[in-house]
């Protein structure tokens, strides 16, 4: 009886599942609709990233079939926007799940290296004034340089159990401190704080505080909610407003500060790896922090390219502690004087 002989794919044996398609996937061969549905971004944006990161991702290798920068970027975008290493996604670009993971690590580090290029406060006077004018146009709050808040991103428990990452819901997370402008562009992002730290403690220890207390920001301030302490450079709402001016101030503050909540929803909607629907980030706190920061960089680049998703609702739920916090009362008399002057000058 004849025994059927299986036809073996030599390319498959030599290079692993799907590797033979590695050089066949070209951006020009697929539609924008396919790229957006699979990788979250259109062709022009992906080509920009290839130009931006290509030199960093083209590392010397002894293998004849190293993964191209284009393929690495597609793999990373696929993970950031879907939250999983799907086999079909690897098949589409011809790499294994293990290679997908390495691509995410490479692209993440390349983006983190460029974080300061894309996430920073404006420095020239004209841009700063435009920043204030744009905020004033929202709800009449003058002098605003940015709105600040914290958001939690769920991570797996560290190998060496560290209770400092357990938040008030009993989940492991990173508490991320961010500042954005009126369009949702991030001006500051500190993504490494342990989830057990309350927002006020994160701000107290953050580089952001050092920046505002050591540099001159006499003509403006950030807006923060009542989880933060009032400072001369950080205006918070009044705990119990009593006068019409105080009510008007609180209403303008709330309407303006809402921009940061919309920004968090936008980031969660676009980068599903952060929203908790696919589970926690399966990395160490340090690597998880870098992934979050990489997504923040991509968020700003996407806004630069006109990819605005303000209207997109979050499709998942980012694990967060309950929205309960102790109302912080300031003992800074100078900060109280600055807020009172703001009330009298602009809201009375």
| pLDDT value, residue 159 | 77
| pLDDT value, residue 64 | 43
For 11-15, 39-43, 143-147, 228-232, which range has the lowest pLDDT when averaged over its residues?
Answer: 11-15
pLDDT tens by residue, 3-28: 443 333 333 333 334 333 344 567 77
Task: Taking residues 256-280, report their average pLDDT.
Answer: 91
Q: pLDDT confidence of 30, banded at 50, 70, 90?
A: confident
Q: pLDDT confidence of 247, banded at 50, 70, 90?
A: very high
Task: Taking residues 242-264, report their average pLDDT.
Answer: 96
What SS3 string covers the chain?
Answer: CCCCCCCCCHHHHHHCCCHHHCCCCCHHHCCHHHHHHHHCCCHHHHHHHHHHHHHHHCCCCCCCCCCCHHHHHHHHHHHHHHCCCCHHHHHHHCCCHHHHHHHHHHHHHHHHHCHHHHCCCCCCHHHHHHHHHHHHHHHCCCCEEEEEEEEEEEECCCCCCCHHHECCCCCEEEEEEEEECCCCCEEEEEEEEECCCCHHHHHHHCHHHHHHHHCCCCCCEEECCCCCCCECCEECCCCCCCCHHHHHHHHHHHHHHHHHHHHHHHHHHHCHHHCCCCCCECCCHHHHHHHHHHHHHHHHHHHHCCCCCCCCCCCCCCCCCCCCCCCCCCCCHHHHHHHHHHHHHHCC
pLDDT of 142 > 70? The answer is yes
Higher pLDDT, 88 or 41: 41
Average model confidence (pLDDT) across the chain: 84
| pLDDT value, residue 1 | 46
Tell me the percentage of the chain whose pLDDT exceeds 90.
Answer: 63
| pLDDT value, residue 265 | 93
pLDDT tens by residue, 304-336: 999 875 544 444 444 444 445 555 566 688 999
For 21-25, 81-85, 110-114, 247-251, which range has the lowest pLDDT when averaged over its residues?
Answer: 21-25
pLDDT of 88 > 70? The answer is no
Higher pLDDT, 10 or 101: 101
pLDDT tens by residue, 192-234: 999 999 999 999 999 999 999 887 566 899 999 999 999 999 9
End-to-end CA distance of the chain: 99
Higher pLDDT, 311 or 281: 281
| pLDDT value, residue 327 | 56
Task: Taking residues 171-187, report their average pLDDT.
Answer: 96
| pLDDT value, residue 20 | 37
Domain boundaries, the chain: 32-57+67-117, 119-284+329-347
């Amino acid at each position: 009886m004849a025994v059927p002989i299986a036809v073996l794919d030599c390319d498959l044996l030599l290079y692993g599942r799907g590797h033979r398609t590695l050089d066949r996937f070209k951006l020009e061969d697929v539609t924008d609709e396919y790229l957006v549905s699979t990788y979250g971004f259109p062709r022009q944006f992906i080509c920009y990233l290839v130009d931006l990161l290509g030199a960093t991702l083209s590392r010397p290798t002894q293998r004849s079939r190293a993964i191209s920068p284009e393929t690495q970027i597609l793999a990373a975008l696929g993970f950031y926007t879907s939250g999983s290493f799907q086999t079909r996604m690897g098949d589409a670009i011809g790499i294994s799940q293990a290679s997908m993971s390495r691509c995410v690590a490479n692209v993440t580090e390349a983006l983190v290296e460029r974080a300061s290029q894309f996430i920073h406060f404006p420095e020239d006077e004209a841009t700063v004034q435009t920043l204030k004018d744009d905020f004033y146009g929202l709800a009449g709050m003058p002098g605003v340089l940015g709105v600040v808040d914290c958001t939690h991103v769920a991570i797996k428990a560290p190998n060496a159990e560290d209770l400092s990452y357990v938040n008030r819901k009993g989940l492991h997370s990173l508490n991320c401190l961010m500042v954005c402008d009126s369009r949702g562009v991030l001006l500051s992002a500190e993504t490494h704080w342990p989830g057990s730290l309350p927002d006020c403690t994160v701000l107290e220890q953050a580089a952001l505080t050092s920046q505002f207390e050591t540099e001159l920001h006499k003509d403006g301030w950030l807006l923060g909610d009542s989880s933060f302490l009032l400072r001369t450079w950080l205006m918070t709402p009044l705990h119990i407003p009593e006068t019409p001016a105080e009510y008007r101030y609180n209403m303008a503050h709330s309407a303006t500060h809402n921009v940061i909540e919309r920004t968090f929803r936008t980031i969660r909607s676009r980068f599903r790896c952060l929203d908790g629907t696919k589970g926690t980030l399966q990395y160490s706190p340090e690597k998880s922090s870098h992934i979050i920061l990489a997504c923040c960089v991509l968020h700003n680049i996407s806004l630069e390219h006109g990819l605005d998703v303000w209207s997109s609702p979050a499709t998942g739920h980012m694990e967060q502690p309950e929205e309960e916090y102790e109302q912080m009362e300031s003992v800074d008399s100078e900060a109280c004087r600055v807020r009172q002057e703001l009330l009298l000058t602009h809201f009375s």
